[in-house]
Amino acid sequence: MPSNSKLKLRLAAIWCHLRGIGIALLLVGATTAVAVLLREYLGILRGSVLYLLPVMLAGYQLGVVPALVTAVAGVILSGYLYFAQFYSFRVASPQEALNLVLFMVVAVVVSHLANQAKRHTMIARKREQEMSDLYAFSRRLAAAPSAAEIFVAIQNHLANLVQRKVVLLSAADTGHAEGVPERLRAEVALVEQDEGRERTIDDDNGNTWLIRRVSPKTPDFGIVAVDLGGASGETLAGIRQRIDDALADAAATLERLDVARALNEAKMRSETELLREALIGSVSHELRTPLAAILGAATILSNAPALARDERLHALTGVVRDEAERLNNDIQNLLDATTISSQQVRPKLQWIEPVDIVNAAVEHRRRRLAGHPVTLELDSNLPIVRADPAQVEQALVQILDNAAKYSSDSAPIHVRARLNGQFVVLSVHDRGAGLSGEEKRQVGGRFFRGPRHAATTSGSGLGLWIANAFISANGGKVEVESEGVDRGTTVAIHLPLPGETAPSETTIDE
């Protein structure tokens, strides 16, 4: 509670004074002991000036009040020791009384001067520290290569300045305002919207917080919340002035670095990214779940004896299944295209057996290729290569799809895997529509579809583009060959041999 803490503060102040007075009296006592010794053993009878020493010390180290106490005690004791009747408090002559009064005045002046000198030294030292802090801060700002570093510098500098909590919120996270007391969060939002304003507000613990923008001109540089503690009046004004100075310096540096635009862009980018991820996630789940149910149910129906008896009905279950599979492939293409266009293709490289990739892709499209006689010509002695198996398979699947799509129903498709120089080449040859010179130049572009086929064959124009992107990401290339319209097409995936050679068989077989 505030009243409680104020009481505690006052008690502490009183204790501080009492301690000062106590130390002052001890000093006077020590001086008296020295004076008595000097008098008894060396016969020094005029030593009252000795008492100026504790007065000066007290004035310098302990403050005015202890110094005055020292002076009064010194006067009384020196009167007792040195004037008229020794060892008595009686003052015998006006001469002695004048001496005592003069002593008193000198003591007070000396203590005051000592105290002044001390205060000036302290203030000078503090100024010097502040100046060097500010200088270090400016230097750090000037050298900061990024906005993030500037923010760290601002936060450290302010925390150092006020010796209390400082929360710096970048424009992106003012929404959460972590580290700021609950009831101040609304203020953060207000300051962000309201141009150039700053606010001071008390939190639940009686501390005053200053909330303002780093730069009064723009909220892009973020909002800063500083716990000013219980400061008030002149102290508060001083602290605020210094905070203003530091932030003005920081804002100027931020402007110079043109980070406003960069920060804005980063914020927008991260939002787009979130949206994209959400889309991928929900498309993936929301579309595939019903598809899985449709496809699963269709496979059960196609095996059901009741339907197996009627050829036409049985064929219909095949239609359901094929179309569901096609839809599933389209969804996969859409997701792949999204991944590719956001430059998120990150191959997970593994040692792969090229023949495995071909077999998996052909198996994947077994139903799609059903009408075509597929011949495989696979070299059983190919070197193993390093690539992402799923991506290479997906690329080959796209190429097989195209081969089936652009050749007549019973036209053969020939798949080869062979070594060609420094590449393992997986190629698909069809005897279908082929490519004209113009088509060959454009094929592989995103959404490109040959105008000849637009009316007769469905497709998105993504297939070869996806294949190209996946294979390039894996360090290979896709080449398209055709001898002309209606003379078939050969599409070949070239995968580079790895620089490192796989160990020989004997070393691992023991």
Partner 1 sequence: MSEIPSSVLVVDDEIQIRRFLRTGFELDGFTVREAETGAEALRAATLKPSDLVILDLGLPDMDGADVLERLRAWSTVPLIVLSVRGSEAEKVRLLELGADDYVVKPFGMAELLARAHSALRRQLRAAHGEPLVKFGPLSIDFAARAVFINDQRVALTPKEYRLLQILAQHSGNVVTHQFLLREVWGNEHIDDTHYLRIFVRKLRRKIEADPTQPRILLTELGVGYRLVMADPPAATPSGPAAPKPPSGGGHQ
How many CB atoms lie under 10 A from the CB of residue 197? 12
Is residue 436 within the footprint of partner 1 (CB under 8 A)?
A: no
Q: Binder to partner 1 among 2, 175, 296, 484 (CB under 8 A)? A: 296
Is residue 508 within the footprint of partner 1 (CB under 8 A)?
A: yes
- Min CB(333)–partner 1 separation in Å: 12
Stretch that binds partner 1, among 46-54, 130-138, 172-180, 301-309 (CB under 8 A): 301-309
Is residue 452 within the footprint of partner 1 (CB under 8 A)?
A: no
- Min CB(307)–partner 1 separation in Å: 10
Q: Binder to partner 1 among 2, 175, 238, 290 (CB under 8 A)? A: 290
Q: Give the nearer residue to partner 1 in terms of CB position, either 112 or 314.
A: 314
- Min CB(276)–partner 1 separation in Å: 16
Are 424 and 378 in contact, with CB atoms under 8 Å apart? no
The string of DSSP letters for 123-165 reads HHHHHHHHHHHHHHHHHHHHH--SHHHHHHHHHHHHHHHHSS-
- Min CB(346)–partner 1 separation in Å: 12
> Which residues does residue 213 pair with via DSSP β-bridges, in sequence order?
223
Both tokens of residue 340?
């590719």
Is residue 353 within the footprint of partner 1 (CB under 8 A)?
A: yes
Is residue 370 within the footprint of partner 1 (CB under 8 A)?
A: no
3-state secondary structure (DSSP) of residue 385: strand
- Min CB(394)–partner 1 separation in Å: 9
Residue count at the site for partner 1 (CB under 8 A)? 49
Q: Write the single-letter amino acid at 491.
A: V
Is residue 300 within the footprint of partner 1 (CB under 8 A)?
A: yes
The string of DSSP letters for 247-263 reads HHHHHHHHHHTTHHHHH
Is residue 324 within the footprint of partner 1 (CB under 8 A)?
A: yes
- Min CB(227)–partner 1 separation in Å: 40
414 closest CA partner among 381, 382, 377, 366: 377
Is residue 282 within the footprint of partner 1 (CB under 8 A)?
A: no
Is residue 351 within the footprint of partner 1 (CB under 8 A)?
A: yes
Stretch that binds partner 1, among 79-87, 293-301, 398-406, 464-472 (CB under 8 A): 293-301
Give CA separation, 260 vs 244, 249, 266, 371, in Å.
20, 16, 10, 60
- Min CB(296)–partner 1 separation in Å: 4
The rounded distance, in Å, linking the Cα atoms of 468 and 475 is: 11
218 secondary structure, DSSP code: E
Is residue 311 within the footprint of partner 1 (CB under 8 A)?
A: no
Both tokens of residue 508?
């691992």
Work out the angle at residue 380's Cα, subtended by the Cα atoms of residues 465 and 329, and round it to the nearest 5 degrees. Answer: 30
The rounded distance, in Å, linking the Cα atoms of 312 and 276 is: 43
3-state DSSP percent of the chain in helix, strand and coil, to 5: 60, 15, 25
The rounded distance, in Å, linking the Cα atoms of 419 and 384 is: 11
Is residue 235 within the footprint of partner 1 (CB under 8 A)?
A: no
Are 161 and 246 in contact, with CB atoms under 8 Å apart? yes
Work out the angle at residue 131's Cα, subtended by the Cα atoms of residues 129 and 134, and round it to the nearest 5 degrees. Answer: 110
- Min CB(386)–partner 1 separation in Å: 9
Is residue 503 within the footprint of partner 1 (CB under 8 A)?
A: yes
Is residue 152 within the footprint of partner 1 (CB under 8 A)?
A: no
Is residue 303 within the footprint of partner 1 (CB under 8 A)?
A: yes
Stretch that binds partner 1, among 34-42, 169-177, 444-452, 501-509 (CB under 8 A): 501-509
- Min CB(419)–partner 1 separation in Å: 14
Q: Binder to partner 1 among 376, 420, 441, 484 (CB under 8 A)? A: 376
- Min CB(383)–partner 1 separation in Å: 10
The rounded distance, in Å, linking the Cα atoms of 141 and 72 is: 55
Which ranges of 342-446 does DSSP label H, i.e. alpha helix?
A: 354-364, 389-405, 437-442
Is residue 279 within the footprint of partner 1 (CB under 8 A)?
A: no
The residue ranges that bind partner 1 (CB under 8 A) are 284-285, 288-297, 299-300, 303-305, 308, 321, 324-325, 328, 332, 335, 348, 350-353, 355-357, 359-360, 376, 378-380, 384, 388-390, 393, 502-503, 505, 508-510
